[in-house]
Structure 1
């Protein structure tokens, strides 16, 4: 894996991707901002040695110790942003979710997915241009793992963490082109088997799509949630859950979910939920 360092630069938070090498680089004259403590450092110098930030200081520096200097006067330096909820299999256009709005007659979904795959490098670069240096894909087809591999080999790319297909209480056949992003699981043992299959790809997270409606009650899917979380934790993998109702969110947290990827939207949360 090629090591990369990303630093967000500029009024518009443009990003510079620097592939790790032996050369020492100094970003000179910018205003550095540390969001951890709110400290603002005018006329700062950030010295990067290989893939490490060696030090950050203010004022005049010994030029001989700075290596290659990049003039950053009038710009800002701050840590890159992290987008913790993306889906690489979705482009964001009208044709990307035929299960919600089926526009296959206008643009076949197969062509949509092919376009997404062929434009991954541009997608990576757009994240960097926006100052986003790390992203988490919380569910998609098995080719998600190829996206992570490609990002790791691309200089102008964010750090990518991925989940595989969503373990779901419902199916979405219109998204299935042979490598479905959402897989309906019917039993606890199926859930455990699927998690074990996912572990072969070393996912950064396992995702549950906890969908309830008149045909899918909260409690009916709960044993599968429990089995998924238990098996994932047995392999030291965290579990993220889509649970937008108070009772699904409550069940997910009670079963040991590590992350809820959305807020509860159907009713105000209660004190008991807050204390979980």
Structure 2
């Protein structure tokens, strides 16, 4: 299990233990007696009960049986008995502008009469800081938003500055072959592209915000010009 991944897997446990963030940066920490999951191993050795982890700064120095792993003098001890240490989970398909409820895709099922879509998106955006905390509390230490409004980049920047947010990777608006006008509140998450020039122009706008990737939503319907669509993708 890579050291970097293991460190982020510890994030939730360290916070639950009440350890100050500054200590995580500079101190030596010993988590003693925890059950550690090693995803690079086969069962039953993948589950290692009564283990000790030594963390120096932001790096795991060693993991081993509690009975034979020395705890350095001056280390901050965390009692890991009854707790589990696992690698951080990655949610690789999210959309910050959406929720999981009925009101989030009026282009599919329009419930604006019950809940205005604009209000739904604003609620999702406003509560995102709390959603970040829920992800961490659930063991999710990295999330990937695979396309949304340009304010996606603001959310990524906010997450980078927050001690209670997962690592965030984002794309901007989807380069699409179809319209989704009901999702357009002035900063559309999906933009229909009609030519290679339009594709290049939108990508240039997104590159200014340093996206983690660019998403093309390739939808080919009967009667569409496939050659023109392929030219957009190649652009």
Is TM-score (shorter-chain normalized) higher than 0.5? yes
- Number of paired residues? 220
Match of 1:70 in 2: 78
SS at match of 1:35: coil
Residue by residue over 1:80-137, the C-alpha shift from the partner in whole angstroms, topping out at 9 and shown as x without a partner, is: 1111111111011111111111111111111111101110111101111111111111
Residue by residue over 1:183-202, the C-alpha shift from the partner in whole angstroms, topping out at 9 and shown as x without a partner, is: 11111121112111111111
Structure having the higher strand fraction is: 1
Shift of 1:204: 0.5
Match of 1:35 in 2: 39
Q: Which 4+ residue blocks in structure 1 deviate beyond 4 angstroms?
A: 14-18
For 1:71-110, list aligned pairs within 5 A.
71-110=79-118
Query: Partners of 2:31 and 2:167 in 1: how far apart?
Result: 22
In the superposition, the TM-score normalised over structure 2's length comes to: 0.86
**Which residues of structure 2 form unaligned runs of 5+?**
1-6
In the superposition, the TM-score normalised over structure 1's length comes to: 0.74
Residues 1:223 and 1:62: Cα distance change in structure 2 (over 3 Å): same
Match of 1:259 in 2: none
Report if aligned partners of 1:151, 1:158 keep a CA contact under 8 Å in 2. Answer: yes
**Which residues of structure 1 form unaligned runs of 5+?**
228-276
Shift of 1:75: 2.2
Shift of 1:217: 4.9
SS at match of 1:21: helix
SS at match of 1:126: helix
Note the aligned Cα RMSD (angstroms): 2.1
1:206 aligns with 2:206: no
Query: Partners of 2:8 and 2:123 in 1: how far apart?
Result: 27
- 20, 27, 30: which one aligns with 1:26: 30
